[in-house]
Structure formats: C-alpha cells, structure tokens
Structure 1
C-alpha cells in the first residue's frame, strides 16, 4: 500500500528558522522546562496529579467535567452549543510533556477546546502517571482502564486516539497495548509532533537540535530514561515506531522539520513504506514542535486537515 502524503515539502539543508522561533530559542525556555535538577527534585519530592480546571474563557467554549479513576483525574470535554446528536465522535486525547510534565493548563486547555470545536467531537483527557515518580509500567494499565471505560459508552468505530509530543508517542504505543490486550481498536490514531523513539537515535536529530526553538535534546533523553525505568528503549511501549505494525488503526502523523522529534518520525515513515503499510503523513517545512496546538493560520489549516482525516 502507498503512503498517503499531504503537502510534504522537505528542505535540505534545513530552512532558516522564522524570527518567532529564533526569539523563542533566545528566551531560553527550552532549558527551563525539565532540566536534570528538576527531575532529581521531583524524584525526591513526588508531585500530586494535576486536578485543576480550565479558565473561564475556555469554559465559555467547552463543558468540562471530571471523574476519578484509581485516584487520577479523567476529564470529559464537550463543545458547547453542539447537541449530542451533532457530535462526530469521540477522542481519547493524551497530553504531551516529555513524560515528566502533567497537562500544561495555559497551553493544553485552549488547544483542547479548539480541537473539540473544530472536530465537533467530545474528548476524554486522562491525567496519566508521569516520571520520575512513575514509569511507563504504571501508565498503560491505567490507560487501558480508561479505554475500557470509554468502550462502555462509545462504539470503537466512533473513537479516535490523539496526542501531542510524548502524548503522540503514547497514543501510538497505546494502539500496541490495545491490540495485545485483545480489545477493539479505534478508527484512527492521530499523532501530533510525536515522540516516536524514546532514545532519539536518528542521526539527523543532532542537526535539528541546533535550531529547535522549544526542545532541549539532552533534557529529552534524560526524561526518557526516567520514563523507561531501566528497560530497553526500543520496547514498543516506549518506542512505538519499533513495534509490529499489523493490527493497528489508521495512523496519521503530523510533524514539522524544525522539531527535534521529526527525524525519528521520518525514520518510522521510511520503515512503514518499506513494509508496505499505509499511513497518513503531513510534514510542515519549517514547522516547530506542536505548532498545530498554537493559535494562528498554520494551526487552523492543520486542524482542518485533522478534521478531514477523521471524516474520511
């Protein structure tokens, strides 16, 4: 089967970063998100799970309710002013955060609201265990429980998995876990700037790391090791791009060439081509990490593409 490609524009050498990306990189934010000192502090001082609510502005657009599962919050997000019969389906959304950060309220809630409104779908947003307090070994039993509970309400052919960054890799890995548990797959897994291989082994990573305005390569790798808990980094639940590709839902990848996670996403694409598997591939030349979750025209175009995928 052929790869489905959409607006692929690949530039080599890498395109010069936009002024906004240069300013973001100069701000130093990429070195403050989860440096080694923070990981050590969190390991010694475990954090409680995030349990807040979005801002009043977000709540004007979506209704948000919270339930708990094994002491962890699970949020249900529904677009306001859209009746239940008008919804196009449901999404299990896994937030990013390098496996060491909970949902980022000022970033993720507005993005989740835009997704709900654009896609005309309700979303389940679980607050899954994070490292260094936990490893992936606690994550997937929890997510499988979340999914089983979803299946009590929604048919699998109305469900899609979606996630950004680490959550994108986790959404892909959850497809492996669902298959191995003998559960029905969702229709789709949409992977937004996904972390495909925990070890970031693609040689081009070092080149992209020099211009990525948002992610620090060394800090990513350190966070990944905490999440792995000493297990091999090529385990399919850690590096889903390394797992068998049979028995999975339709996969669609959105990635930008100024994202340090892009080279391993491209390596997965090449593997899928070689093995004859059909995936969707959207690559934005000059696109930074998780651009589709930010306000702006490029994000609106990408959200429209996501809606088109789910409508197909």
Structure 2
C-alpha cells in the first residue's frame, strides 16, 4: 500500500507542475536555463556541514567527493552519476542521497558534474564520466558504480567499456529509475505517461535526441537497453510502477538475467521517478535495502564495529 506521505508528494508534484518541463520540446528549451544554474553544481551548505568535501577537476569539469567528517572511510568508494535527462544539473536530492550513503556506510561518494546538452553531447559526456570512474577505481580497492535516470545509462556505458577493455566490473552497479532507451519506443510508456507525475515522453525524447546528436539512438552506449549485457553486473535495479521508464527496466532486467548477470530487481507499486531520494517511507525502505546490499559487500574487518 502506498504511504500517505508518498500520495501527498505525488499531489505536490502535480500541483506544482513538475511534469511541465518534459511536456514538449519547446517547453524544455524555454526552461533549460532554470535547470542548469551554476549554483546547483556546488554542494549545499548543509552537505558541507555534514560531510568532508573535496573538489577535483576531471576533463575540465568539477568532480566532488563526500567523505565522513572524521576522515575514516570504512566502506567502498561510490561513483554516483546524477540524472536529469542529460539536460538538468545535479539537484539537492542527489546531494542528500550521497550524504546519506556516506553517513550510513562510512563510505566516500564522488559526484561528477558532467557536461550537459545542448552545449555538449555524448561525445563529451562519456569520456568525462569514464575518467571520473578511473579516479575512483584508483582511489580505493572496492568501488560501486551508481546512477539514477540518465545517470544510470552513463553507469552502464562505463560498465560496457570496462568489459570491452578486459577490466573488472565494479563490486555492484546500482540503477535507480534508469533511462535505458532515449527513444522510449515501448508503447506501454505512452500509457504510463498519463500516470507519471514527473516525466513526459515528448520532452525526454527531445533531450535524448540532443544527447545522441545524430548518432544512432540504438547505440548501446547511448541506449543500454540494446547492449550486450554479457559480462556485466552484478546489478541492483529499483523502479516504480508510476514511472514511464518501467517497461524498459523490466526488459533490461530480463535481458541481464538471460545474459547470466546477478540481478537484484525491485519494482515498487505506486512509486514515481526517483522516489528513492525523497523523504517518504518507501524511499527510506529502499535505502535500507541498498544499505544492506552494500554492507554485505564490505569485508567485516572494514566495518566500523570491527
């Protein structure tokens, strides 16, 4: 049963017109400046009070790492790639999510401020996030690759490149409300569009078109739904039934299992896009599960309780 708090949040999304940005291509272009403010790309003051914060530059773009304030990192290093349709800058809920992982796991979390469309496309974005991952992989023996929405597709592009280069996969890939096909070709997505309080197909397709910038939208680096998933994983995937990305997430999970991957798939009834990062009971429940998954992969001698 959907919690009252979640129902109220959906009502808030509808009342404040959160979906309008993705309603159509014209609206998306007209409002882009509101979603790409430079101030969004810096950790909020509350995050700086809560975590130790380090800024590095990767391929000319900022890359922020959050660590426990006492300096002790007991968990893995998590690279999290924020969502936003390749057109939106990192938002407050991404910073809170990263800080929550730091607090719960005693880990480090790195957040690349990767290049956005329309100024850039996948030919700029993919090399930057790959370079950011290489920094994380060099920093610590154990690392987790995580992403939400468009960030999940970026994470999967990195995983494919690691496999193709003969390199080890991350300890786990965490995919939250993943956007797996920039063309959104599954007809069920059209039906779900009416019930999704946050995303819209027309605007998303326009964002995906700009990100591909003339390349084949079925290129697996751009739309990982069409990737060969052999040798990838293990995965934890979280998706809600009010998210128009649901049918592609189901298809991806089935394909990953068929390819022999370890898939931890969770479909949450009544949940909307990126509910995991919101202060609702379902969000905390999912974070609890994610914490258990990642803790199981932390060697006992590295846990704070010794």
| TM-score (norm: length of structure 1) | 0.85
Q: Can you give the 5+ residue segments of structure 1 that lack an aligned partner in the other structure?
A: 1-8, 10-16
Shift of 1:36: 2.6
Corresponding position: 1:142 with 2:122: no
How far did 1:311 drift? 2.5
Task: Find the aligned partners of 1:83 and 1:257 in 2 and give their Cα distance.
Answer: 39
Query: 2:96 matched to 1:110?
Result: yes
Aligned pairs (5 A) from 1:13-28: 18-28=7-17
Separation in 2 of the partners of 1:49 and 1:248?
35
Alpha-carbon distance between aligned partners in 2 of 1:148 and 1:66, rounded to the nearest angstrom: 16
1:29-51 residue CA offsets vs partner (Å, 9 max, x unmatched)? 2113685336546999xx78667
1:228-271 CA deviation, whole Å, 9 max, x = no partner? 11111111111112111122131110000001111110111232
| Residue 95 (structure 1) aligned with residue 82 (structure 2) | yes
SS at match of 2:52: strand
In structure 2, list runs of 5 or more residues that go unmatched.
297-306
Counterparts of 1:23 and 1:114, CA distance in 2: 24
- 1:283 aligned residue (267, 284, 289): 267
Is 1:257 the counterpart of 2:241? The answer is yes
The question of 1:67 aligning with 2:56 is answered yes
Cα distance change on mapping 1:143 and 1:182 into 2, 3 Å: farther
CA contact (8 A) 1:162 1:189 kept: yes
Quote the Cα distance in structure 2 between the aligned partners of 1:57 and 1:25: 28
Q: Note if 1:121 corresponds to 2:107.
A: yes
Bigger relative contact order, structure 1 or 2, given CA contacts below 8 A and separation 6+? 1
Structure 1: distance between partners of 2:46 and 2:38:
23
Preserved CA contact (<8 Å) 2:78 2:110:
yes
Partner Cα separation in structure 2 for residue 56 and residue 126 of structure 1: 18
1:208 paired residue number = 192
Question: Would you say the 8 A contact 1:43–1:132 is kept in 2?
Answer: no
Deviation at 1:94, TM superposition (A): 0.3
How far apart are residue 196 of structure 1 and its match?
1.4
Q: Where does residue 303 of structure 1 map in the other structure?
A: 287
Q: Which residue matches 2:276?
A: 292
8 Å contact from structure 1 (residues 50, 103) kept in 2: no
In 1, Cα distance between equivalents of 2:194 and 2:28: 23
Work out the CA distance in 2 between the residues paired with 1:42 and 1:21. 22
1:248 counterpart (232, 237, 240): 232
Q: Deviations over 1:254-297 (max 9, x none)?
A: 00000111111011123234444331101100011101111132
2:56 and 2:293 mapped to 1: Cα distance?
Answer: 30
Matched, 1:29 2:18: yes
Output the aligned Cα RMSD. Answer: 2.4
2:153 is equivalent to residue 169 of structure 1: yes
Equivalent residue pairs, number: 290
Q: After superposition, what is the alpha-carbon deviation per residue over 1:160-201, rounded to whole angstroms, capped at 9, x for unaligned?
A: 000111111211221112222333321110001111111111
Q: 1:62 to 1:184 in 2, by over 3 A?
A: same
Query: Which residue number in structure 2 is paired with residue 227 of structure 1?
Result: 211
1:160 & 1:291 partners in 2: Cα distance? Answer: 21
2:230–2:260 CA contact under 8 A, matched in 1? no
What does residue 268 of structure 1 align with? 252
